[in-house]
Structure 1
Amino acid sequence: MGAIRTYLKLGEVLERYPDKEGMLKDFFDADSSGELLRRYGADSYLNRMLKSEGKPADTLLSLLNEGEEDRTLPAAGEVDFLGMTICLMRQRFQACFDDWMTDYREETGQSFNCYLPRNCGSGNPYRNVWQAENVRDFPGIVSGCGFSDFFRAEFRDNLLKKNVFQAVDMPITASLSRDLIDPYGSYTLYGIYPYVMMIDETRIGSLPRPREWADLMNPVYEDNVIVIGSPEKVSELLLMYTHKEHGDEGIRRLGVTIKDGWHGSRMAKTAGSGSTEGAAIYVLPWAFARFSPRPDKVSVVWPEDGAISNPLFMLVRKDRYRDLEPIARYMTGPQLGREVASCSFPALNAEVDNGLPTQAKMKWLGWDYLRSIDLQQLKGHTQSVFQQNWKRNSRVGTSK
């Protein structure tokens, strides 16, 4: 088995993981495993037990999976589903998957061998599966987010070009472009993590309002744009999209206008507050922009050329598609789609109302482009060009 999940039955956990008996007794306030079994029954699913007691699933899972690194886990090729997603959605994604798996087990009597990482950073024992050279060493289904390792040139050369993955057909919502569908039939996008602009109305003054992404290169915004990142570096996402259309010159010009790199939550809290640390324009995920605490002092701009798109994707092994189709259909279906949309990540499924602004579009790097570049090389190059031209670096150097 992979990590312990709440779609397991009480009896299964006690049998497979006898070292967890004491923890389960304490968590559910029982004197013995016998009392646990009498109270709930061996066939009770953990998540049903949690809901009946009003106890948090995430706390139980953290306790159950302590010491996971000391257990023998299945080889990557034996894992049916490696479920990774964006940090903002991790807990909901995992809770919904556990609920679906519980229902599926009840209806069919069947189960899958799944691993859903406990956190968003280190600690995922399958984090290097992208390096597999043979598809037999790759999980049946992998879900992920962003232009991550599964878009690397090495992954493309080792597996993608061998035509070993099968995209999932689904009706796509009319408000999203079919450009998001992989014409090569390998990747399946089930959602998008969009980035938009937010204007601080207390700071924009007489400056022109940006309408599309190229406007951010205008020197009139010098030192007046804050993007996702940190004081040391900014996210490569905006840099990659800019470089595709405007090359190194576009990156150099952003080095003049970008003031700093922040987390999206800090941007949302600062915009409209009057803080001198802020800026007139912010580039941040829609998930943060739409919930600004000062909606009367900020304006969200959905660029005319589309929100910058970060993908929520899935890869399904072609040789295992038939066996794992229930998971693939769940991942692309309306049930998960509505949960994804409620987290401000537009779902591609046509049955989901994403609540997007009228005329909202998505800006996409393009599948041919992604197959033609060395992604890691591009990230490194754009960051290097930006750092060499970032005016913030010269300001910090002068102040030391």
Structure 2
Amino acid sequence: MITGNENLLQISELNKEYISVFEQHGLGNYFKPENLSKTGRFIRLNTLLTSNNINSEHFINKLNQSLSEKQEVKENDNETLHFSAMLPCGLRNPFKELTESYFEENKALFKDLNYMMEGNVNHELSYYPLLDSITDENELPDVIMASDINNFFHRPFIHRFIENDVFEAVEPFIPNHYLQKEGFADPNKHYTMYTANMLVMVVDKNKLGDRKMPKKWDDILQPEFENSIIMRGENDFFCNAVMLPFYKDHGFEAIKILANNIKSGMHPAEMVKLAGKEDDKGTAIYIMPYFFSKRIKDKNVEVVWPEDGAIASPVFLLVKKDKKEQHKELLNFLFSKKLAELLKQRHFPVIHPEIDHKDLPETVKWLGWDFLNNHYIGKLKEDIQETFMEVWNKK
């Protein structure tokens, strides 16, 4: 009998025909093979249904009605995920390769470690929303690495887990001043602020024409940049890491102007291919991570690190207080100089005190903890997206 505490992989293995039921409710994406083998092992049925406003009792009864008396849910399949990492695209592959190599070299230490390392973009619209419905800390990994201002900063998660001191910051050293001078570390010592994905402007000078080169973020709100900017996004979602700072500085009016000035949304890897090309899909200004901007070698393209700072989209750790000792070897590696050097090679700022940042300009634009703590971030993001899409859809 299905109770709702089963994970999605268990459900799919019990009866393959169940997947069509989930597809009818718009949940088919969670049952794709590549997702089932990863997050499907750890997402509970009740959490998925609650987060999608589906009546759990009615839905589960429907599944049980078609369950044969001979069919039983396999036991001991609810795995504990010890370490999950949802990383920026520019960091995911080398981070995973180095980390898995270290695990392999130290098998005795990590033979029982259950982990998952993925690109953040894969989970921004799938896993993160489920966090608002999780009520049991045992459903969360022991050590979580995540990117951007996501659902880990939303009130449901904060009320259930942050305010109840489930997580405690890891502080192996006095952090490098580069990010800390902007107050990057969590003053309440729950989130461990690890690094940041630095967002900059990339300008195609041919498409810019006789318009003035933007030097600050405010500059791209000028009317002459209407339909002249590309940022990370899709048809119905655009990057919160970009829009939140604009809201902080200028309110919803800036969001409306930005929506009018955005030409399209795409992945940074696509932007790299377009910048400097004659392609009509391209534009004058791209907002992308600094890592991706370094891949562009076209002489007609200029990378602009804004005078008021590159936007620091956070990459952070959440570590369960009562699991820190159990995972001390993992944490020692995550804060090792070896991993810090990898971050620097990928143009990510580092908190390790022995790493310099001579390759990065000094100015950093960070939202700040006062802003994060004094706003209902989840609701604010919804309002920003709604305001943006209202203008965007009229275009």
> Normalising by the residue count of structure 2, what TM-score does the alignment of the two structures yield?
0.73
* Corresponding residue for residue 283 of structure 1: 287
CA contact (8 A) 2:143 2:320 kept: yes
Amino acid at match of 1:141: V
CA contact (8 A) 2:87 2:119 kept: no
* Displacement of 1:176: 2.5
Task: Write out aligned runs for 1:206-245 (5 A).
Answer: 206-245=210-249
CA contact (8 A) 1:190 1:331 kept: no
Amino acid at match of 1:278: G
Please state whether the residue corresponding to 2:251 is helix, strand or coil: helix
CA distance in 2, matches of 1:215, 1:231: 25
Deviates more, 1:153-162 or 1:305-314: 305-314
* Corresponding residue for residue 116 of structure 1: 116
Q: Percent identity?
A: 26
Gaps of 5+ in 2: 1-33, 42-72
CA distance in 2, matches of 1:321, 1:86: 24
Change beyond 3 A, Cα 1:278–1:72: farther
Are 1:91 and 2:90 an aligned pair?
no
CA distance in 1, matches of 2:390, 2:96: 41
Change beyond 3 A, Cα 1:233–1:112: same
Please state whether the residue corresponding to 1:176 is helix, strand or coil: helix
Are 1:199 and 2:203 an aligned pair?
yes
CA distance in 2, matches of 1:116, 1:204: 42
CA distance in 2, matches of 1:185, 1:67: 28
CA distance in 2, matches of 1:119, 1:281: 25
Please state whether the residue corresponding to 1:199 is helix, strand or coil: strand
* Corresponding residue for residue 247 of structure 1: 251
- Over the aligned positions, Cα root-mean-square deviation in angstroms equals 3.0
* Corresponding residue for residue 183 of structure 1: 187
Deviates more, 1:120-129 or 1:195-204: 120-129
Q: Which has the larger radius of gyration?
A: 1
Amino acid at match of 1:213: W
* Corresponding residue for residue 325 of structure 1: 328
* Displacement of 1:118: 6.2
Change beyond 3 A, Cα 1:100–1:129: farther
* Displacement of 1:165: 1.5
Change beyond 3 A, Cα 1:189–1:66: closer
Gaps of 5+ in 1: 1-61, 396-400
Please state whether the residue corresponding to 1:116 is helix, strand or coil: strand
Amino acid at match of 1:298: V
Change beyond 3 A, Cα 1:127–1:244: closer
* Displacement of 1:323: 2.3
CA distance in 2, matches of 1:66, 1:317: 21
Change beyond 3 A, Cα 1:129–1:68: closer
* Corresponding residue for residue 25 of structure 2: none
CA contact (8 A) 2:197 2:313 kept: yes
* Corresponding residue for residue 337 of structure 1: 340
CA distance in 2, matches of 1:272, 1:198: 10
From 272, 277, 294, the equivalent of 1:273 is 277
* Displacement of 1:173: 2.4
Change beyond 3 A, Cα 1:126–1:214: closer
* Displacement of 1:270: 1.6
* Displacement of 1:68: 8.2
CA contact (8 A) 1:80 1:112 kept: no
Count matched residues: 325
Change beyond 3 A, Cα 1:71–1:192: farther
